[in-house]
Chain A
Amino acid sequence: MGAFLLRRLLALAATLFGASLVIFLVMEVLPGDPAAVILGTGAREDTLAALRAQMGLDLPAHARFLGWWGEILTGSLGVSHTYGSPVTELVGERIGVTVPLAIMAILLSTAIAIPAGVFAAARHNTAADAGVMGLAQLGVAVPNFWFAMLLILVFAVWLGWVPAGGFAGWDKGWQAAVVSLLLPALALALPQAAILARVTRSSVLETMGEDYVRTARARGLTRVQALWRHAVRNALIPVVTIMGLQFSFLLVGTIIIENVFYLPGVGRLMFQAIAQRDLIVVQSLLLIMVAAVVTVNFAVDVAYVLLDPRLRLRGRGDG
């Protein structure tokens, strides 16, 4: 297990370094001089040169790349061109919005999808099944920003129950913060829930045909009892896998949703940084996102190995 973990950790580090190189090179070829964006159309050449020097943009590319890694290794990630504050500080301020939002979205999508999927499986080939799957089909097809606008229209504009957007701030009490995240989390969760519900349904249907479920039925359990006690638990393994895979979609989704609900999260920071050509912020955020996805995958892999020793042996055979 130790060797396996070490191997996976080294692979993780190599992935991150490779990703950072690709990100940096992409930023290099992107047209747009950050100094020109800051100073606009009235700027003179000498002013531009002064600002470029101030931002370190006059250094050669390899020096800037190494400088960036120097910053990463000391844990600071560099200083934003536009805001003038450290990237870690900017991200730190906003992570308190994005992480709770992502967690709420995952909880909501799970809370919607698993009962819906099991319900549909239990009523396989009935009108109820068709109804649930029809809704799921719709959920997969409709993008989350459209859900977002619909939710705002109904709950904020017509009913006036919640604000149309914005974030109250955790200092105003957790209830207010949770209320301001409710609609965005729901908008993020619905398309995810639609996918998860379909996976849950087919997974439950599959396990229903397994020997142990039949054995359980033979022991005198009703269909529904067998479903809940045995089939659902086993059916959840592929569901968890899909949830892990959806994590990266969730990160991308927050960029759009945070913009529609004008939430001060990491996704909105990314959006603004791209528009302002704040390269250091864009590349650092991309790296953080890659790190998050890679770490989640790593955790999923480790969880598999812990759950199923056969995978550990297979891993050793490959290596």
Chain B
Amino acid sequence: MTKLKRLALAAVAAAALAWPAMAANTSLTMGMVLEPPHLDPTAGAAAAIDEVVYANVFEGLTRIDSTGAVQPALARSWEISEDGKVYTFKLAGGVTFHNGVPMTADHVVFSFERAMAEGSVNAQKQLFAPIETVEAVDPATVRITLKNPFGALLFNLGWGDAVIVEPSSADTNKDQPVGTGPFKLDRWVKGDRVEISAYDGYWGDKPALASATFKFISDPAAAVAAVLAGDVDAFANFPAGEALEQFRADPRFEVTIGSTEGETILAINNQQKPFDDVRVRRALSHAIDRKALIDGAMFGNGTPIGSHFAPHHPAYVDLTNRYPYDKDGARKLLAEAGYPDGFSATLKLPPPSYARRGGELIAAQLAEVGVKLEIIPVEWPQWLEQVFRGDDFDLTIVSHTEPMDIGIYARGTDYYFNYVSDEFNAIIDKLNLTAETEARYALMGDAQRKLADDAVNVFLFQLPKLGVWKAGLEGLWENSPVQANDLTGVRWTQ
């Protein structure tokens, strides 16, 4: 055997040995706590739907990136008319759906009209409420005309609920999603996993991953075991905060604590006595030690907040010192309001551990200023029916995970806080009519301060995003401005 032959053989052998390792490094198994009920982001509110398909399988005109900023997606550029009412979008070229159909402006018109139609079951139908008409100017241009100027339109079009779908597959997207994204669905083994793989005909930059599997593991202890045993490469929303120290100490894993859009609040029924008195609400805000709460209920993970706004957002105003922890101050305010000996109330707690664990701590803290709480644990469907729709509650703990949702406080008695303020509504009205970023941010600041002044709810902490993944994996979102597992930029470095 010549030297050259031997070298060639060695090279082949090395390549053969290296091949499986390389192949393994383009696939990812991602753990998720909840299985999506179906895979159509335009027909359900479940976060798990977007966690699988957002940006991976389906795309909208715009997209929201990991910092929460609006980026071009299927719309490569747009122009806004002087009066802020007409948006003209230029669409990307060469876009095809996973079933081979080329995407045109007609598909955008179809998708939005479907979502806006009477009888539509889009869970976020109100996102489209400002829209008057959607027209296809030519195959690559879409014009959206609004009833009034609406500053959040570009952000709202980046939601999963506003993705572009293709008419022949629209009704079967629940089971067989057909989008324009870089990944297509391979297989959904219900109760177990969803498998996706790179779509050859993708119009944009190809992702580094060739395939990915989402595995559904709801039990926190099972999630810990699955990561330790190597069955799962990553958990972007890890359900077992108590196990994080163990992973931090293990060089095989990386732990990242990010922020989410989840404002966790002690929600107050503002029309219910004695909570209709702002002094009582302020007393509650003073009586709660947020630091102790975060340590006790969240194992130290979570950022205190003083109003209904995410700390990672550029328009955030730090109002955490508006009501410092002050038991005497709380007692004084209660006495002024006519409750020197405190009072009794109920606290309804939905299932997540931030609520159940947090609720016990809050009950203990409020007891110290004389407010005696009866804790009533409820299931989610009950919570939605009794608390959210029925206004049948005094206090509850919940995380509001919708992005940029400060506008819910303008809904008055249509929303379960039952907060009525003309002054606040005026701020939001002005915000809706403003498209210029700096002016919008200033108004968002005013809105935050107003909510804090009125102590509408006790603003507790921003829900953290607990990420645990194998070392050598990069590109997963640290924060979660929308509930998504965007895999387009994910790769293995080792």
Contacts and interface: CB of A to CB of B under 8 A. Distances in A.
B385 A32 contact: yes
A260 B126 CA distance: 39
Contacts of B249: none
A260 B221 contact: yes
A288 interface: no
A32 B380 CA distance: 8
A157 B384 CA distance: 39
Interface stretch (A65-73, A213-221, A241-249, A264-272): A264-272
A94 interface: yes
A104 to B, nearest CB: 18
A42 B124 contact: yes
Given A38-B123, A39-B121, A32 B225 contact: no
Nearest to B351: A275
Interface string B369-395: 000000000011110111011000000
B215 interface: yes
A253 to B, nearest CB: 15
A85 B175 contact: yes
Given A156-B229, A262-B216, A40 B381 contact: no
A207 to B, nearest CB: 43
B357 interface: no
A169 interface: yes
B190 A32 contact: no
A262 B123 contact: no
Nearest to A156: B229
A314 B94 CA distance: 81
Contacts of A33: 381, 384-385, 389
A195 to B, nearest CB: 25
A208 B387 CA distance: 64
Given A82-B37, A269-B191, A38 B175 contact: no
B148 interface: no
A88 interface: no
A37 B381 contact: yes
Interface in B104-160: 118-126
A54 interface: yes
Nearest to B381: A32
Contact of A39 (B45, B228, B385): B45
A267 B217 CA distance: 14
A158 B234 CA distance: 19
Interface centre among B35, B217, B384 (most CB of A within 10 A): B384
Interface in B174-222: 174-175, 189-193, 215-219, 221-222
Contacts of B120: 47, 50
Contact of A264 (B37, B46, B126, B191): B191
B231 interface: yes
A268 B385 CA distance: 25
Contacts of A51: 121
A33 B175 CA distance: 23
Contacts of B222: 152, 164-165, 259-262
A39 B35 CA distance: 16
Interface in A232-289: 259-265, 268-269, 271-272, 275-278
Contact of B381 (A36, A39, A259): A36
B377 to A, nearest CB: 13
A164 B229 contact: yes
B450 interface: no
A292 interface: no
Contact of B225 (A94, A157, A272): A157
B229 A41 contact: no
Interface of chain B: mostly helix, strand, loop or mixed: loop
A50 B190 contact: no
Interface centre among A47, A152, A164, A259 (most CB of B within 10 A): A164
B191 A149 contact: no
Interface in B417-462: none
B381 A277 contact: yes
Contact of A166 (B121, B175, B192, B389): B192
A259 B34 CA distance: 12
B231 A41 contact: no
Nearest to B390: A31
Contact of A272 (B35, B215, B229): B35
Nearest to B127: A42
A121 to B, nearest CB: 37
B123 A47 contact: yes
B190 A93 contact: yes
B332 interface: no
Interface in A157-188: 157, 160, 163-167, 169
A264 B218 CA distance: 12
A28 to B, nearest CB: 14
A153 interface: yes
Contacts of A112: none
A41 B402 contact: yes
B291 interface: no
Interface centre among A32, A263, A278 (most CB of B within 10 A): A32
A202 B225 CA distance: 39
B218 A262 contact: yes
B385 A164 contact: no
A277 B385 CA distance: 12
B217 A83 contact: no
B403 to A, nearest CB: 11
B224 to A, nearest CB: 9
A271 B385 CA distance: 20
Nearest to A160: B229
Contacts of B226: 164-166, 262
B189 A169 contact: yes
Contacts of B221: 149, 260
Contact of B229 (A42, A50, A163, A263): A163
B37 A36 contact: no
Given A39-B121, A93-B190, 19 more contacts: A32-B381, A37-B380, A40-B384, A41-B402, A42-B402, A83-B175, A84-B175, A156-B225, A156-B229, A157-B225, A163-B229, A165-B217, A165-B225, A166-B231, A262-B216, A262-B226, A263-B191, A264-B191, A278-B37
Interface of B: 35, 37-38, 44-46, 118-126, 174-175, 189-193, 215-219, 221-222, 225-226, 228-231, 379-382, 384-386, 388-389, 400, 402
The 4 closest A-B pairs by CB, nearest first: A32-B381, A40-B45, A264-B191, A264-B192
18 contacts: A32-B385, A39-B44, A43-B125, A47-B120, A47-B121, A83-B38, A94-B190, A152-B222, A156-B229, A156-B231, A163-B231, A164-B226, A166-B226, A260-B219, A260-B221, A262-B216, A262-B218, A262-B219
